[in-house]
Structure 1
Amino acid sequence: MIKAIKPSLLFLLAVMGCTSTQPQQPASTESATPPPTAQMKLPAFDNDLLKEWLGPYGGVPAFDKMDLALLKPAMERGMELQLAEIDRITNNPEAPTFENTIEAYEQAGSALGRAMTYYSIWSSNLSTPEFRKIQAELAPKLSEFRSKISQNPKLFARIKAVYDQSQKTPLPADQQRVVQLIYEDFAMDGAGLSAEAKQRYAAINKELSSLYTSFANNTLADEEKYVTYFTKDQLGGLPESFVKAAAKAAADRGKPGQYAVTNTRSSMDQFLTYSDNRALREKVWNTYYSRGDNGDASDNNQNITKILQLRDERVKLLGYDTYADWRLQNRMAKNPKNAMALMEAVWPAALARVKEEVRDMQAVANKTGAKITIAPWDYRYYAEKVRKQKYDLDSEEVKQYLELGNLTQAIFYTAGELFNFNFTPVPEGSVPVFHEDVKVWEVTDKTTGEHIGLWYLDPFARPGKRSGAWASPYRSHTTYKGKETVLASNNSNFVKPAPGDPVLVSWDDATTFFHEFGHALHFLSSNVKYPTLNGGVRDYTEFQSQLLERWLSTDRVINQFLKHHKTGQVMPPALVAKIKKASTFNQGFATTEFLASALMDLKYHTLSDPTGLDPDKFERETLAALNMPKEIVMRHRSPHFTHVFSGEGYAAGYYGYLWADVLTSDAAEAFAEAPGGFYDKDVAAKLVKYLFAPRNSMDPAEAYRLFRGRDARIDALMRDRGFPVPGEKAKKR
C-alpha cells in the first residue's frame, strides 16, 4: 500500500482526512515571495518539529527530538506560515505567471510539511491515546486550513489565468503538466463554486476530517484491545516460530505463561492457517473481522453512513451524480462503468475457482473424519492441507528459506540489477530514527557513486502501529530549486521473534515486502523537476510495486538469497518447482476476498442517495446479490475498511489494485519474452525510463504504451491466476 500519491500538502490533507502519512514539500530554506527573483528566508524556529532538517545526506528528520508537546503548536504555526505564503502569491501586483504563481505555490508549505512528517509518524507508527487526542483537535483545524487555500478565489483566479494562457501558448512539457494537474485539483475541489456553495463545501470537509480520524482511531483501538489469549494445551498444529512469538506477545501484555494472537492480519493469518483448534480459530476469525463492528464506543457503522452522505452532498455541489463519477474522472479508468467492467470480467472466474477450492477442502475434511462444513475460519487451515496434498507443498517448510535479512539483501540485489542502485547501511547513530527497530541505508548510483537518498525500514508490529504494510516518502526528488534527494521508508508488521530467533515470513509476506519496496523504488528513481510531478493516479501507482513482486520468484533471487536459516542451503529446485507449480493455487480465495471489497467500495460510492444507509444490511445484501461464497469474507469488511473510510486515497478506487495488476501481468510478460528474461537490460532500461522515473510527468496510459508498444491486455492477468482467458480454449487445471 502506498501512503503517498501527490506531494502537494494541499492534496495530502484532502485525500487523507489529515490522518495519515503522506509526502510533503521538500525541505526548503526559502518561502515564496511576490517577485519571482526575490528570496526571503523563513523565520527562525524554536520548535524542533518546524526546523529545517540538518545533518548529512541533504538533511534528515530530527526523529530523536520528537516531543508530543511540540506537535500541536508546530502544526498551528506551520499553517499560519503557509497561509502567509499564499497571501504573498495572491497579493502580487504582477500578472500571473508560471514562476510567480505556480512555482511559488509549489514552494509554499515547507515548514508545515516538516511538521506533517512527524505528525504522520505518530499517526501510523507511534500512536498513543495522547496523540489521538491531539489528532482529534487538529483534524478540523487542518480541514479549515485546507479550505482557506482550495477555496481561495484570488489564488484560483491566478492559477486559472496561467492555465488558460498555457492552453493558448503551451509551456515546456513539465511545466505544462504541473499547471494542468494543479488547475484540475482546484477545480475538482470546488474552487469554482459560488461563495455560498464554497462555505458548505468547506463545512463538509471539516466534518469529514473528524469522521476520518474517528474511523481510523476506532479501527486501531479494536486492533489493540481485542487480543486472543490461549494456553499451552491449545498449541496443536502451530509452528514453533509462531508459538515463540505468541508467547512473547502475551508476556509483553502482562500475561507470561500464556500465548497471544494479536488482532493484526499477519498474526491472524498464521494462526488460522495452522491451528488445529477449530473453536479457537473461529474466535480469532470473529475477533479480526469484527473490528469496528462490535456495537461499542469504537463501532464505525454510523461513521460510514455519515461519511457517505457527506461525500455525496459534496460532489452534488459540483454537479456530479455520484462520488465515484467525481473521483474517477482523472484516473486511468475514467469512470465507474469501466472500473466495474474490469471487475465483472474477473468475478465469475474467481467464483468458479472458489467452488473448486471448497470442494477440495471439504474432501480433505471428510477424509480425516472431521464432521464439519467448511466455514470461513476453516478456509486457510484446509487450504494449507490441500496445498500439501496436491502439490506436496508445506508453507512452513517454505518459511525456513524466507529470512527477513536475506530478503532485504534480495530486494537490494533486484534494485541493483534493474535500477543500478546500491544500498549501504548508514553508521548506527548517524541518522536519527523514531524507534529502535528502524534501520537506515544510503542509496547510491552503482556506477557513479552519486548519492540518491536514504531508505528507512520499520519492520515489526507493535502497539500503536497501524496494521498492514505501506511506503512513504519523507522527502521527494525535485530539482526546480536545486536538487533535493529522496528519503523513502517502508513499514511492515512482521511478528517480532523471541530474542535470538530469526525473522521467518510466509511467501505471501515476502511478496508484500517486495511490493512495498517497489513503491520505495518509485520514489527513489524519480527524475522530475517539480513537487507535483512526484504524484500519480491511484489505479496506476500500485502497478510499479505489484510488478516488483515478480522478482521474488526469479532464479537469481532464489539461488542467492532464499537460503535455509539454519543450514544455509539454497532452496532446493524441487521445492522451487512446487512453489511455481502451485502459483495459481488458492487464487479463488485471494481474488474473491479482494474483489468483494473492491466491488463493495464502488457500490457504496455509486449510490444515488446514501441517506440513512444501514452499512451492515447493505454489505450483506450487496454480497448476496453478487453471489458471494459463504466460505469467504471481504478482505476488508466495511467497518474497518480504512483504505476507504479513514480518508479518500482509495475511496471509489480500491479496484485500482486489479487495474494495476492488468498492467503488471502484461508488463511481466514483456520481461519473460525478452532474451535476458527478468534481468534483460534493454527492457529494464525502458522500465525505469518510462514507468518509474517520470512519476506523474506524463499521462500513465501514454507512458505504458511507450514501454510496451501497445496498451495492456487482460489476457496475461487471467493466465497468471489460472483463469480462462476470454477467447482462448480453456486448459484443464
Structure 2
Amino acid sequence: MKNPLLENFQTPYQTAPFHEIKEEHFLPAFQELIKISEKEIDDLVENQTDPTFANLIEPLAFSGEKLDVVSNIFFNLNSAETNDEIQKIAQEVSPLLTEFSAKISQNEKLFMKIKKVFDEKEKYELNEEQQMLLNETYKGFVRSGALLNNEDKEKFKNISIELSKKSLQFGQNVLAETNNYFKHLTNEKELIGIPEAILQQYREEAKERGLEGFVVTLQYPSYIPLMTYAENRELRKELALASGKKGFQNNEFDNQNLIKEIISLRQEKAKLLGYKSFADYVLEERMAKSPEKVNAFLNELLQKAKPFAEKEIAELKSLAKADGIDEIQSYDHAFYAEKLRKQKFDLNDEELKPYFQLEKVEEAVFGLAKKLFGLEFVEVQNIQKYHPEVKTYLVKERQDELKAVLYVDYFPRKGKRAGAWMTSFKNQFKKNGENSRPHISVVCNFSKPTSDALSLLTFQEVTTLFHEFGHALHGILADTTYPNLSGTSVKWDFVELPSQFLENYCYEPEFLKTFAKHYQTGAILPDEKIHKISDSKNFMEGYQTMRQLGFGILDLAYHSQPEKVGDIKTFEVDETKATNLYPSNPETVMSTSFSHIFQGGYSAGYYSYKWAEVLDADAFQYFKENGIFNPEIAAKYKILLSSGGTKDPMELYKAFRGSEPKVESLLKRAFSMG
C-alpha cells in the first residue's frame, strides 16, 4: 500500500496532504519512521570519530524530522477532527513514541558522547543559540533518566509509557462525556431570556439530531449562553451539574482513579530522578524555579485579589436577593454577572455581537500583525485541509517573503475537543542555507453561522481569537536555527506572554474603532459602548483572579503533595477553600475534567497563566506609555518573539523592556493598585 505519509509531500510548501491521508496510513507510517529515526541515532552512536558539537549535537537536533511532522499531523487531528478509529490508533501509537523517546534518552553510548561534548564545551567557541542547544540537550537526557542504573531506566521508561496512555484516556473520557450529554427542550418558555440568535443555534442543533424544538449541549458556544441568559434557574442548575459531573459519574468514563494513577506515576518518575516531587522536577525548568516560589506568588495575588472578589460577589448576592434567592450558587454566577455588567456598563454580549462579525475580527487581528510586524495574510485555496471549514493563508513579509502557512479552524464539531488552542504542523528551522518556514494552526470553538445568520462573536470570543493569534505570531515570526528552540518552544511560564499580550489591544478604543462595525449597516460601535468595553475590562477581575488562582493552587497541590490525595472531591474542596467564593456542590468536581493538567502540558504549571499576566501587563504598559503601535518598541518585541527558546526568557524580557517585570503592573491594571 502506497503511504502518502512516507513520501515527500508533493504539495505547495510541503504542507500535509490531508486529502490523500487515510486512518490506516498512520500506524505503518509511525512504525516505519520510528525505524528510520532509530537508524539516524545508531549512525551517530556508531560514528568512530571523536564526538563534537558539529557531528553530534547538531545532527541530533535535526533527527526524526519526518517523524515529528507525522506526529504533529496525527495528534492535531486527534484534537481537532477525531473519531473512534483515530482514538484507537492514538492508544497504540502513544506507547510506541514514548518507548522510542525513552530508547534515545537512555542510550548510554549516545549520552556518554553528549556528556563528552558538554564537558569540553569551552573548546568549541559556540554562539549563544548553540550553547543553549548543548545545555538543553544534555539536561534533557539527564531529566529523562540518562544517569539512572539499568533497572531504574527500565522503570522510568515503563512509567512514561503508562503516563502517555493514561493522559490520552483522560482526554478521551472528557470528550465522550461532553458529547454524550444533550438537553432536548420543546417548550420555548423554558428558554426565556436567551437571545434569538442563540435559540436559532439550539434549533439547528435539534434539527441536526432529527428532533423538534431545541437542543443544548455542553460545547461552550451552546453551554455558556444558556448559563449567562437563561432565567430558568432549574435549567441552569441542570446544565451546570451535567458539566460539573464530567468524569465524575462512576461510569466507564470516570476519571477519578485515572487522576490518582497519573499523579502517582508522575511522583514516582520525579523520585527516580532524585526530586522531592513532580512539581520540583517540572519547576526546575521554568522561570519560577521552585514550588515555594510559585506558592508565594499565588498567595501574594490571593491576599491582594480576595477583598475585590468578595466585594464583587456581594454585589451579585444583592441582585439575586432581589429575585428571592437567599443563597446564590455557582450556577447563578454568569447570569447575575451579566445582569450587573448590563447595569454598570449597559453592555450585553448579544447587543455587542452584531459589531463583531468573525471575518471582520479576523481582518483586525491580521491588520494588527501588519501594523506591528509588517506581516500580510493572503487566503489561498490550493492547500489541502483536514475539514472543509478550515481556511488556509500564506503569511508573507515584505510582500513576497513567505513567513508561514496558517490554518484557521473556528467552529465546534463532534470530533473536536472543547476550548481554543494554537498548534503547529511543522516547526521553523534553518538547514543547508535554507530557512524552512513553519505551518501554524489556530483552532477555536466559536458560534457557527446558521442558515440565516453569520458567525457573530461575543466579546470574550474576540479576546480568545486575539489570544490564540498571539501564540500563532510566536510561531509565525520564529527565526532560529534549531527546530527544538523555535517558536513556542520556550519555558512554559513564558509561553503565555505573547497570547495574553495581544488580548490587551481588544480594550483599546483607538484600535477597537478600526473594526467594531455593525455587520449589516457598517456603523462603528458607538464611542460610549467602546469606552464601556474599555472600562469593563476589569469587571469581575477579582472573581476571575480567584478562579485562576484556585486552578493553580489545586494543580500545585496534586503535584507537590500527592500523598495527601484520597477522595478526589474532598481533596479539591480542601485545597481550593481559600479561593472558593460559592458553596461547593457535592455532585460536581472540577478535577475530573481538568484536561490542562491531566491531558495537556500544564501539570505543575497552571500558575503560568497568572505569571504571564504579570509579564503581559508590564509589556503592554511599556507600549501604553509610548504609543500602542510604537514601531521601535514593536521591533524590539518582534526580536523577543522571533528568538524562541534560544535565550533565557528573563534575559529576553529584559532586553525588550530594559528591566524585570513588576507584579505592580498587573495589580495596577487589574485593581487600580500600585
TM bucket normalised to smaller: over 0.9
Residue of structure 1 equivalent to 2:200:
244
- Conserved 8 A contact 2:72-2:424: no
Cα distance in structure 1, aligned partners of 2:243 and 2:579: 23
Q: Which amino acid aligns with 2:6?
A: L
Cα distance in structure 2, aligned partners of 1:541 and 1:254: 43
Cα distance in structure 2, aligned partners of 1:722 and 1:168: 52
Residue of structure 2 equivalent to 1:40:
none
Match of 1:702 among 642, 647, 651: 651
Cα distance in structure 1, aligned partners of 2:230 and 2:637: 43
Higher-helix-fraction structure: 2
**Equivalences for residues 716-731 of structure 1 within 5 A:** 716-722=665-671, 724-725=673-674
Residue of structure 2 equivalent to 1:220:
175
Q: Which amino acid aligns with 1:508?
A: Q
Q: Which region of structure 1 is more displaced relative to structure 2, 147-156 or 510-519?
A: 147-156
Q: Which amino acid aligns with 1:334?
A: K
Cα distance in structure 2, aligned partners of 1:652 and 1:415: 32
Residue of structure 2 equivalent to 1:431:
383
Cα distance in structure 2, aligned partners of 1:442 and 1:556: 28
Match of 2:599 among 626, 634, 646: 646
Q: How far has the Cα of 1:723 moved from its partner?
A: 5.8
Cα distance in structure 2, aligned partners of 1:636 and 1:155: 46
**Equivalences for residues 122-271 of structure 1 within 5 A:** 122-167=77-122, 169-231=124-186, 232-255=188-211, 257-271=212-226
Cα deviation 1:559-607 (Å, max 9, x = unaligned) = 2211112211011100011111222111122112211111100011111
Cα distance in structure 1, aligned partners of 2:562 and 2:333: 36
Q: How far has the Cα of 1:627 moved from its partner?
A: 5.2
Q: Please tell me whether residue 673 in structure 1 is matched to residue 625 in structure 2.
A: yes
Let me know the Cα RMSD of the aligned residues: 1.8
Match of 1:622 among 563, 567, 575: 575
Cα deviation 1:595-620 (Å, max 9, x = unaligned) = 1111100011111635x732222112
Cα deviation 1:527-577 (Å, max 9, x = unaligned) = 111112111111001111110111222334322211112211011100011
Residue of structure 1 equivalent to 2:8:
52
Q: Secondary structure at the match of 1:570?
A: coil
Residue of structure 2 equivalent to 1:685:
635
Cα distance in structure 2, aligned partners of 1:449 and 1:115: 28
Cα distance in structure 2, aligned partners of 1:436 and 1:79: 31
Q: Secondary structure at the match of 1:538?
A: coil
Change (3 A) 1:711 1:424: same
- Conserved 8 A contact 1:358-1:374: no
Cα deviation 1:419-461 (Å, max 9, x = unaligned) = 10001111x2x1100000000111111x352111211100000
Cα distance in structure 1, aligned partners of 2:642 and 2:422: 17
Residue of structure 2 equivalent to 1:360:
315
Q: Which runs of 5+ in 2 are unaligned?
A: none
Residue of structure 2 equivalent to 1:473:
424
Cα distance in structure 2, aligned partners of 1:688 and 1:713: 21
Calculate the TM-score normalised by the size of structure 1: 0.89
Cα distance in structure 2, aligned partners of 1:599 and 1:180: 31
Change (3 A) 1:503 1:715: same
Q: Which runs of 5+ in 1 are unaligned?
A: 1-44, 726-733
Q: Which region of structure 1 is more displaced relative to structure 2, 376-385 or 336-345?
A: 336-345
Residue of structure 2 equivalent to 1:36:
none
Residue of structure 2 equivalent to 1:13:
none
Cα distance in structure 2, aligned partners of 1:698 and 1:116: 27
Cα distance in structure 2, aligned partners of 1:98 and 1:46: 38
Residue of structure 2 equivalent to 1:21:
none
Residue of structure 2 equivalent to 1:100:
55
Cα deviation 1:188-226 (Å, max 9, x = unaligned) = 111111111101111111111111111111011111101
Cα distance in structure 2, aligned partners of 1:169 and 1:130: 49
Cα distance in structure 2, aligned partners of 1:500 and 1:157: 65
Q: Which amino acid aligns with 2:131?
A: Q
Change (3 A) 1:333 1:718: same
Residue of structure 1 equivalent to 2:436:
484
Residue of structure 2 equivalent to 1:121:
76
Q: Which amino acid aligns with 1:171?
A: L
Q: How far has the Cα of 1:311 moved from its partner?
A: 0.8
- The percent identity for this pair of structures is 33
Question: Would you identify which runs of 4 or more consecutive aligned residues in structure 1 move more than 3 Å?
Answer: 167-170, 631-636
Match of 2:23 among 64, 68, 80: 68
Q: How far has the Cα of 1:112 moved from its partner?
A: 1.5
- Conserved 8 A contact 1:558-1:570: no
Q: Secondary structure at the match of 1:721?
A: helix
Change (3 A) 1:220 1:179: same
Q: Please tell me whether residue 537 in structure 1 is matched to residue 488 in structure 2.
A: no
Change (3 A) 1:236 1:123: same
Q: Which amino acid aligns with 2:362?
A: T
Cα distance in structure 1, aligned partners of 2:219 and 2:436: 36
- Conserved 8 A contact 1:264-1:288: no
**Equivalences for residues 155-554 of structure 1 within 5 A:** 155-167=110-122, 169-231=124-186, 232-255=188-211, 257-367=212-322, 369-426=323-380, 428=381, 430-445=382-397, 447=398, 449-481=400-432, 482-534=434-486, 535-554=489-508
Cα deviation 1:327-356 (Å, max 9, x = unaligned) = 010210011111111111111333222221
Q: Secondary structure at the match of 2:4?
A: coil
> Which gives a bigger RCO, structure 1 or 2 (Cα 8 Å, sep 6+)?
1
Cα distance in structure 1, aligned partners of 2:19 and 2:435: 25
Q: Please tell me whether residue 637 in structure 1 is matched to residue 637 in structure 2.
A: no
- Conserved 8 A contact 1:321-1:608: no
- Conserved 8 A contact 1:522-1:692: yes
